[in-house]
Structures are given as C-alpha cells and as structure tokens.
C-alpha cells in the first residue's frame, strides 16, 4: 500500500459543467482501484441539476456550498473540507489535485492549500492553451498577475492531457514537472450498433465560442448546397454557455438553414447512447481542446469522427477512423463531404476501428495507474515516469 491520499478538488460535479466534471469523477473512481487512497471535494449549488458522481460504494464526495454573489462566487467551506479530506486517512501523506484554473473554486483551493501548506498538483484542462488565454484576455491578464501565475508556479506538478497542451504549459513554466496523461473512457466491449440509414451529422459539446459552431454552420451551408447530400441534417446538442446558442441560432437563420439544423439542448449521460446511435458521423470543429472527451465517447459508440487541428486528435486518420483538419469552413466542408459520400458499411468499419483504438488505449484503469505513479514520484522521487517532462 502506498502512503498517499489524493484529494481531488473541483468547482462542480454538475453534468452541465461538461468534460471537467466527468473526467474528475471518472478518474477519482478509477483511482480507488489503485493503491492510492482517494477523496473528492466539490462545490455544490442548488441549481446544479443532475450530478456526475462516483459509485457511492467506492467514493462519497465532500460537498461545499457554492455562494454566488453579484460580484464574487465563494466557497466558504472549502478550506475545512480540504483539511478534513487530507486527514481522513491517518498515516498517509495528502496531495491535493485541483482541476481547472481561473475559477473562484480554484482561488478557494489555492488559498486553502497555501494556508495549510499542502502539496498540490493542477490539471489546467486546456485553460493555458493559446486560444483559451486569448479569450477574455484582459480579465485573464489581471487574474494571472493577481493569483493564477503564483498558484501554478507553486504546484509540485502539472498535468496535461496531450502533447499540445504540454507544449503550451512548458512555454509558461519551464521548470515545473508536467505529466502527459490522457482522459479515459468507459468503453463497451463491442461497438454499439448504429443506424445504417442515418443521415445525421452530430455535434455534442458546450455551445461556446471556442467550439467554432459559426464556422461549422458556414461549412454546413456548403453541404446543404450540394444536391448529393440533400437528405442530411446537422444536430447540435449540448448546453448553452453565456448565451452563445442565440448567436448560433441567428447564424442559422441568416444562412437559411433552419430546416437542416436541429438543436437538442443539454443531453443527460443516460441519453447519450441513443443520441450517438442515431448519428452517422460525429464532428468537433473546435478552435481549441486540451483533449475532447466527447471524441472518445463518439469513437467508443462506433462513430467516425471529424476533429480539427485545435484538438489533439491527429491520430484519427492514422487509425483510419476519422479526419483531422483545419478549423476553417472550407476544410470542415471537405471532411464532411468525404464522410457523407461513404456508404454506411464503410462508415461502420471506421467506427469499429475507432472503438478498438480507444478501448486499447484510453481505458480508465491505465489512466488511473499513470496518475497514481505520478503522485508517488512527486512524493518519493527516483527516476521520473516516461510520461513526465521535467
């Protein structure tokens, strides 16, 4: 048995929080099967809705009230919850694993670990990549010098989910150890059956400017102008963020695509299999993604995937299960034309190859084992794991 307890901290486990909540809950769950003791501390608000939770028999989160004010969101119980979690396993050394940056919850966690002099690591979840840093750049510059740079620099280590994210982090922090550990996926043993008659291109993610939905719609206009693809529709699924859906809907109207674009809204985890099953192709046109959990979900569901150079999915064409293209309307349109022109059997074969790839490479057991070894190395030293850049 190791002498480490990993205390994972996150602002919310609400399903609406997107990939971070899912990744944190899944990793914390998988870590319970390693020799690392695990605790999970999360913010909790009355309007969270459905939560992404570990199995209660394996791990019970400690919830901290989220108090939203007109100017500031506070987590007044965060320090006490972290202290309780850190001392819940006598004889074990705590390492705090915070998720995300910039958010009020991250400020609360950093204040707590600094006051309690606890060792910590941070998973930025793509929030240090160039596009993310440029979005609301003025506010982030102030936060950077007020607290965020200090918090990151004080971490014992940082975790990236792919090589492009590691590169972005290394430019900012030349001496901090960085582990490159992907997110995982609970992959079914066999690829689920998809509808061979489907003529739906599916987007599933938060409706946020970085997802490049405006560019996707411009590309979709090209598809709609091609008689060969007259029967195809685009389904846009996922929760609105910051009112961006209204902007996307206005662009649909400007392009005259109302009859060929459907908005599904937020999709509960239990409903995702049916959503994937009725699609023929999945597309993630983002300007920036540190990983893109939904790509692994789509591949696990047996769908071919179109992703952009803003995502770390360069292996899609190498694995013969998708396309990796520039995040421009022209490139997205070319990829969709290629995907839609295939016969259903060819698309199904691509989906089966994608399923096999993610099953072999992105199982949570492998991800948890790597994360646990990173914690052990940070605590005990020795030769760094081969996925750690020092």
Angle, CA 29 vertex, CA 38 and CA 21 arms, to 5°: 100
Closest by CA position to 30, among listed 145, 183, 158, 180: 183
pLDDT level of residue 270 (50, 70, 90 thresholds): confident
CA–CA separation, 225 vs 212, rounded Å?
A: 20
Closest by CA position to 219, among listed 111, 62, 316, 337: 337
pLDDT tens for 3-17 read 999 999 999 999 887
Residue 325's pLDDT is what? 98
What residues does CATH 3.40.50.2000 cover in the chain? Answer: 4-184+363-389, 200-361
Residue 348's pLDDT is what? 96
Average pLDDT, the chain: 94
Q: Are strands 178-180 and 200-204 parallel, antiparallel or unpaired?
A: unpaired
pLDDT level of residue 190 (50, 70, 90 thresholds): confident
CATH of domain 200-361: 3.40.50.2000
Whether the per-residue pLDDT at 199 is higher than 70: the answer is yes
What is the pTM for the complete model shown? Answer: 0.84
Please give the CATH topology (third level) of the domain spanning 4-184+363-389. Rossmann fold (3.40.50)
CB distance 154 to 365 below 8 Å: no
Residue 388 CA, distance from chain mean position: 20
Mean pLDDT of 78-85: 97
Residue 297 CA, distance from chain mean position: 11
Mean pLDDT of 229-248: 95
In Å, how far are 115, 233, 256, 353 from 98, measured between CA atoms?
A: 15, 40, 44, 34
CB distance 234 to 220 below 8 Å: yes
Q: What single-letter DSSP state applies at residue 384? A: P
Residue 186's pLDDT is what? 87
CA–CA separation, 292 vs 299, rounded Å?
A: 12
Beta bridge partners of 119: 95
DSSP string, 126-195: TTTSHHHHHTTHHHHHHHIIIIIHHHHHT-SEEEESSHHHHHHHHHH-SSS-EEE----B---SSPPP--
Residue 290's pLDDT is what? 84
SS3 86: helix
Whether the per-residue pLDDT at 335 is higher than 90: the answer is yes
Whether the per-residue pLDDT at 1 is higher than 70: the answer is no
Mean pLDDT of 182-196: 89
Buried b / exposed e across 242-276, counting CB within 10 Å, b at 16+? eebbeebbebbeebebeebbeeeeebeeeebeebb
Residue 268's pLDDT is what? 86
């Amino acid at each position: 048995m190791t002498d480490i307890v990993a205390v994972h901290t996150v602002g919310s486990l609400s399903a609406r929080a997107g990939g971070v909540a899912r990744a944190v809950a899944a990793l914390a769950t998988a870590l319970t099967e390693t020799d690392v003791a695990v605790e999970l501390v999360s913010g909790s608000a009355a309007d969270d809705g459905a939560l992404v939770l570990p199995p209660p028999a394996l791990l019970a989160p400690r919830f901290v009230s989220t108090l939203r004010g007109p100017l500031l969101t506070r987590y007044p119980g965060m320090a006490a919850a972290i202290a309780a979690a850190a001392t819940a396993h006598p004889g074990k050394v705590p390492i705090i694993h915070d998720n995300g940056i910039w958010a009020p919850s991250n400020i609360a966690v950093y204040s707590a670990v600094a006051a309690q002099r606890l060792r910590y690591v941070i998973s930025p979840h793509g929030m240090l990549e160039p596009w993310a840093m440029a979005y609301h750049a003025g506010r982030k510059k102030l936060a950077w010098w007020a607290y965020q740079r200090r918090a990151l620099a004080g971490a014992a280590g940082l975790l990236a989910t792919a090589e492009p994210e590691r590169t972005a982090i290394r430019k900012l922090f030349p001496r901090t150890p960085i582990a490159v550990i992907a997110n995982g996926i609970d992959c079914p043993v066999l690829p689920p059956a998809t509808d061979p008659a489907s003529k739906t291109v599916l987007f599933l993610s938060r409706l946020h400017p970085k997802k490049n939905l405006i560019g996707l719609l411009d590309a979709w206009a090209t598809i709609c102008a091609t008689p060969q693809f007259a029967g195809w529709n685009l389904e846009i699924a996922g929760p609105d963020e910051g009112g961006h859906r209204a902007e996307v809907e206005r662009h649909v109207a400007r392009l005259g695509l109302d009859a060929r674009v459907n908005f599904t809204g937020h999709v509960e985890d239990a409903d995702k299999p049916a959503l994937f099953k009725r699609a023929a192709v999945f597309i993630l046109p983002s300007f920036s993604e540190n990983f893109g959990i939904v790509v692994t979900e789509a591949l696990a569901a047996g769908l071919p995937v179109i992703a952009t150079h803003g995502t770390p999915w360069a292996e899609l064409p190498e694995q013969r299960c998708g396309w990796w293209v520039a995040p421009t309307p022209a490139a997205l349109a070319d990829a969709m034309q290629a995907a839609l022109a295939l016969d259903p059997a060819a698309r199904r074969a691509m989906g089966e190859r994608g399923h096999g790839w993610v099953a072999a490479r992105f199982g949570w057991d492998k991800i948890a084992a790597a994360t646990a070894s990173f914690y052990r190395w940070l605590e005990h030293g020795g030769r760094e794991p081969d996925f750690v850049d020092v």
